[in-house]
Amino acid sequence: YVCMINIAYYISKNIITLNGSHIELIKYKFMKEYYDFYNYKIKTIDFNYDTNQYLKEIYYDKDINENNILELTPEKLKKLKYENKWKLLEYLDIDKNLINVDSAFVMNMGVFHEYKRQILSALGIALLYYRLKKNPNLSIAERTYFFGGKSYPNYYFTKENIKFINALANQINNDLFIKDKIKIVFIENYNLTKSSVVIPAADIYQSLELLSMQLKDVFIFKSLSTGAAFLTCRSNYQNICIDENQISKYMFGDNYETVLTKNNYNLFEFLNQNKEIEDMFNFYRYLPKETFPYDINKIYNSIYYFNDENHIFKDLFEYVSVIEKSIDDYTNTYQWYQTRVNDCKNTIKIDDKSFLKKYNEILEN
């Protein structure tokens, strides 16, 4: 068989790693017997990482540093979080009367890709809005969803995903019927500069990859160190590091062993047993184009014809339940910020070498 990573090593002029941990991963896992052959191409970039400066930047507070973050209190973290929310709205030039900073800021950021499952978050919003329209007395806490990222020019599904999110935003943001219970903000041209303002404002940061082989998502740990809750799938490899450091999280879906070895999921049977999904899509099919300018069949067909290979429909109901649980917890202000303070303190103790060791153990199995 053809191993694409070997082809990449062969045709690349240089193989750039960011630290010694990456060298170990390449040497003992991805290259193994080929390491000596490709060794001359490998170059390492070492960053002079100033933790204190980083903490000052993400908290926008000159008094925060690695030493006194251990003395951070729920009251101070809440104050910092609200300051960061106001800074975000100002940075995005959003009318502060349109977004309630008391609402939970739910973030889904990064490059748009099928495996990142931004569509799961979008359909979760769509399902909640559908339920609100069916039952006006449904009680939910206010929330504001933020999406940001880019798509490859020829990537059909992700471009349709972005169009769907913006159409959904147009429908929901202008619906006075739901009384600002849900708001959606799409951040255009999202990049690292914008992320430095966006991430510190997050109350809930989502990482919805079904199976992510990414060694360590720095944005997850930036969000945790700035007081956000983490919502993810049970199959996400980032949980290795999260669990070891006793950081709280909200989870849904199958674990990675089940996803890899016991995937007997049949979409046709699932849809027959869960009619609400079809009812929801019918609701959006008949919305006026003036308020919902999108053909939702494009999303439905892209999932249906590939037997929901990324478990979008399969995980939808549990995802919605978990996001509701996290936002309900957010309304319990003191307990919420007490938990976030504990997570902040545990996040800055993360040991990359220990994480790498456990990550390698999973890959070996």
State both tokens at 189: 């041209």
Q: Return the DSSP state at 39.
A: G
Pairwise pLDDT comparison (65 vs 121), residue with the higher score: 121
Inter-residue contact 215 to 241 (CB < 8 Å): no
Residue 281: pLDDT above 60?
yes
> Tell me: the pLDDT tens digits for 55-93?
555 554 545 555 556 677 899 889 989 999 999 999 999
- Give the C-alpha separation, 14 to 165, whole Å: 38
Q: How many residues does the chain have?
A: 365
Predicted local confidence at residue 47, as pLDDT: 44
Residue 265 C-beta-side C-alpha neighbours within 13 Å: 21
Say what the pLDDT of residue 110 is. Answer: 86
Question: How confident is the model over 105-128, as a mean pLDDT?
Answer: 93
CB atoms closer than 10 angstroms to residue 101: 16
| Confidence (pTM) | 0.83
Q: Dump pLDDT digits (tens) for 339-363.
A: 999 988 887 776 555 555 555 555 5
Nearest to 203 by CA among 102, 123, 304, 271: 102
Domains annotated for the chain, with CATH where assigned, are 4-46+354-364 (no CATH), 77-348 (3.40.50.2000)
